[in-house]
């Protein structure tokens, strides 16, 4: 079985959850906060500053990213 890249796993997780925080992903995949933020920025996942949540809320704002999941 092929190993699924971390970028694709994060994209799929965000799509399944709808809205996530950096801490959600850090805890799920056991990554550093900075690497999670870099990966999500590279993928084009949108984020929005919300209250006092560090690094804000992240969500898929571009529908083209859902197309990546289908392929």
pLDDT tens string 40-62:
999 899 999 999 998 999 999 88
pTM: 0.83
Over pLDDT 90: what percentage of the chain? 59
Q: What is the mean pLDDT of the chain?
A: 88
Q: Could you identify the residue written with the tokens 């920025």?
A: 41
65 pairs with which residues across the strands? none
Torsions phi, psi for 19 (to 5 deg): -130, 130
Does the structure show a pLDDT above 70 at 71? no
CA neighbor of 28 nearest in space, from 14, 15, 18, 38 = 14
């Amino acid at each position: 079985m092929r190993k699924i890249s971390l970028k694709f796993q994060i994209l799929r997780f965000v799509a399944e959850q709808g809205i996530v925080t950096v801490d959600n992903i850090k805890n799920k995949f056991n990554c550093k906060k900075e690497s999670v933020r870099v990966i999500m920025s590279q993928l084009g996942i949108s984020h929005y500053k919300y209250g006092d949540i560090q690094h804000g809320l992240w969500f898929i704002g571009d529908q083209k990213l859902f197309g990546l999941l289908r392929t």
